[in-house]
Chains A and B, each alone.
Chain A
């Protein structure tokens, strides 16, 4: 009697030890990315991969941008904008500490913003802070930005990866050892292979309910290797899988699920608007009408992607579908070209980066242009180095094609200099008005107007938005399906049993 009792209690003890371990969901994740970040400080370099590892995981901003693209409080719990739009007063959160124990207060916030806007700044978005004239810190919990002119997008820009708050003490070493205030602490970086983060036990936001203890970002460039890593279970999720043509191969895998959303990557064939024949709006319209966006998406990106009629994505606020402004109409294109004096044909060169979306799209465009009498010569152009030099900086090109990654960057058509060489006073006025008001409803109206101006004037051929090709383990919840800002926010990611 005694022995079986012992055995029984032993068995119970063992089962009580092992049972919870079996039932508990996993608390780690291996997440795949196609591009390794160049450094881990989003405030000193532009590549989106930096933010995709660190933004919201390691680093946080005064405000943040949520999965719907909305601005939310973060290190600032509230703010007030003066009626003239020239004074922004932020009430900062208390009891926030950096991963090294340093406290967050208005002095730190001021130092971070001053670093981003100062003379020595190498912040890729230094322009965000152009309107900021001075910063005051009346007390540790209050930060006041005084502007020289209204900046309607300032609050949104403060949510960007390039605007995160870093501590002056660790600012210089963040490139290799990032120290922020976020829910995850940097652990190690095996360069060329992975970055490992672990949970921040002292995270200020106790309501956040962070489910992961450990997160590994693996960098796998080759789509075949990405697929193998997913199918073998080496990687749990690829939020931005590299090859659309392989997406259907995951359908037969019971363990994986796919989620196709929108990125902010606008694939646009830019034209040199200062140069003939692109100075003629009829030519630009004809070229737009010569292209069937649906066929392009089918051929170049396996029918995944959303056609666009302006430099704007369905993720963005106040989006309007303008693909019907100049729908596919080769006959009309021919007559427009004839009207413009190119009835006997027209030929020019497109400088194409080596990325597959660009080369494939250019080849399809070549065929479609041929049907309306336009001869397109394709010139491969190494991206980024040579493209940045030739097209972007020297503006030595006829046409090019590239995916614009920055969210809400419709204002590039008002920038001077910019590689489109586009001048349109009416458009410039709308962009100035957007910054002159802080009223979201008013801004939305202006963004609609801006989209329409571009759709009608076609300074560039607006093609499609790259899809966000998400592939991940079925049991994984909380990853973003759309990407209003390039990111891999882990705070809501958890495993479901």
Chain B
């Protein structure tokens, strides 16, 4: 177990170093000069040079990369060219929105799809199964940003119950901030819920026909108890795997939804940093996301082991 954790940790560090070098190289190959973008089309050459030296852009690439690594080891990820604030502060602010948003969306998606998937599998080809299939297909087929616009029209423009977008920050209070996250998390959760319903249904169906499930029924255990106590835990493997993938997608890939709701999330920060050639921000965001993917995958593996004793057996 400890060996596994150490191996994963080493993998994490190696991946991060490789990713950071790659990003640095790519961002330097990309055409565009952060100083020219900031100073516009009337700036004279000496002004551009002054800004480049202020931002440290006049140094060689390798020097900048090593300096960045040295800083990162001290927890200093540099300062955003565009915002002028430390990158760690900027990303912290974005995470205070993105993580709760992804979390709520994930919980919503699980709350809807797991019961629905189990119920659909329990009565295969029944009414619930039909409805679940319809729901799954529709929610996957409808583009999330389109659903988002629909939600805004219904709940903000017509109803006036929820804000049409924006995020006031947690400092204004829990409820106003949470209110701003309700519609976006629903829009994000819907397609995920569709996928998860299908996965749950399929996994439960597979397990339901195995011998132990039939034995449980034969022993006289009720259908419901068999389903929830015996079948679902055994079907949990694929569900947890998909959940892990979905969480990383929700953190990194919510940019379209963030745009429709004009939420200051991590996805939009990455997009903006790319457009402005804000290399240090780009660097930190990509590293964070790579790290997150690795950590979440690791957690999923751990959870799988917890769920399935067979995976725990150490090979001799």
Question: Which of A's residues lie within 8 Å of B, judged by CB?
Answer: 38-39, 45-47, 119-127, 175-176, 190-194, 218-222, 224-225, 228-229, 231-234, 382, 384-386, 388-390, 392-393, 406, 409
Contacts and interface: CB of A to CB of B under 8 A. Distances in A.
Interface string B268-310: 1100100111000000000000000000000000000000000
B25 interface: no
A176 B157 contact: no
Interface string B164-206: 1111110000000000000000000000000000000000000
Nearest to A192: B264
B234 interface: no
Contacts of B41: 46, 388, 392, 406
Nearest to A406: B42
B31 A176 contact: no
Given A225-B260, A385-B30, A233 B85 contact: no
Nearest to A381: B31
Nearest to B32: A385
Contacts of A406: 41-42
A38 B32 contact: no
Interface string B152-170: 1100110010011111110
B37 interface: yes
B42 A127 contact: yes
A226 to B, nearest CB: 8
A390 B36 CA distance: 12
Contacts of B47: 121-124, 126
Contacts of B160: 232-233
Given A46-B42, A193-B264, 6 more contacts: A45-B39, A122-B51, A176-B85, A220-B166, A385-B30, A385-B277
Contacts of A176: 83-85
A46 B44 CA distance: 12
B82 interface: yes
24 contacts: A38-B276, A45-B38, A46-B42, A46-B43, A47-B38, A119-B50, A121-B47, A122-B51, A124-B39, A124-B43, A126-B44, A127-B44, A190-B168, A192-B265, A193-B168, A224-B260, A229-B164, A234-B163, A234-B164, A385-B31, A388-B37, A389-B32, A389-B33, A392-B41
B40 interface: yes
B156 A39 contact: no
A228 B165 contact: yes
A120 B157 contact: no
A175 B81 CA distance: 11
Contacts of B42: 46, 124-125, 127, 406, 409
Given A45-B38, A220-B165, A191 B44 contact: no
Contact of A224 (B83, B93, B149, B276): B149
B116 to A, nearest CB: 30
Contacts of A121: 47, 50
A192 B259 CA distance: 11
B261 A225 contact: yes
Nearest to B40: A46
A386 B275 CA distance: 9
Contact of A228 (B51, B152, B264): B152
Contacts of B165: 220, 225, 228-229, 234
Given A122-B54, A222-B262, A388-B36, A39 B82 contact: yes
Nearest to B152: A228
Interface residues of B, number: 51
Nearest to B45: A417
Contacts of B152: 225, 228, 232
A193 B40 contact: no
Contact of B31 (A120, A122, A233, A389): A389
Interface of B: 30-33, 36-44, 46-47, 50-51, 54, 82-85, 90, 93-94, 149, 152-153, 156-157, 160, 163-169, 259-265, 268-269, 272, 275-277
A191 B91 CA distance: 10
Contacts, number: 152
B82 A234 contact: no
A389 B36 CA distance: 8
Nearest to B34: A385
Contacts of A122: 39, 47, 50-51, 54
B36 A393 contact: yes
Contacts of A119: 46, 50
Given A192-B268, A228-B164, A222 B259 contact: yes
Contacts of B54: 122
B82 A190 contact: no
Nearest to A390: B31
A233 B94 CA distance: 25
- Select the residue from A194, A228, A231 with max chain B CB neighbours within 10 A: A228
A222 B277 CA distance: 21
B83 A218 contact: no
Contacts of B94: 192
A218 B39 contact: no
B222 to A, nearest CB: 49
A382 B259 CA distance: 19
B36 A191 contact: no
Nearest to B84: A175
B223 to A, nearest CB: 47
B85 A191 contact: yes
A191 B153 CA distance: 26
Contacts of B259: 221-222, 225
Contacts of A393: 33, 36
B32 A386 contact: yes
A193 B166 contact: yes
A254 B134 CA distance: 40
A190 B82 CA distance: 14
A388 B32 contact: yes
A242 B40 CA distance: 21
A353 B271 CA distance: 17
B31 A190 contact: no
A128 to B, nearest CB: 9
A232 B30 CA distance: 41
A419 to B, nearest CB: 8
B145 to A, nearest CB: 9
A231 B165 CA distance: 12
B274 to A, nearest CB: 9
A194 B264 CA distance: 9
B83 A194 contact: no
A127 B44 CA distance: 7
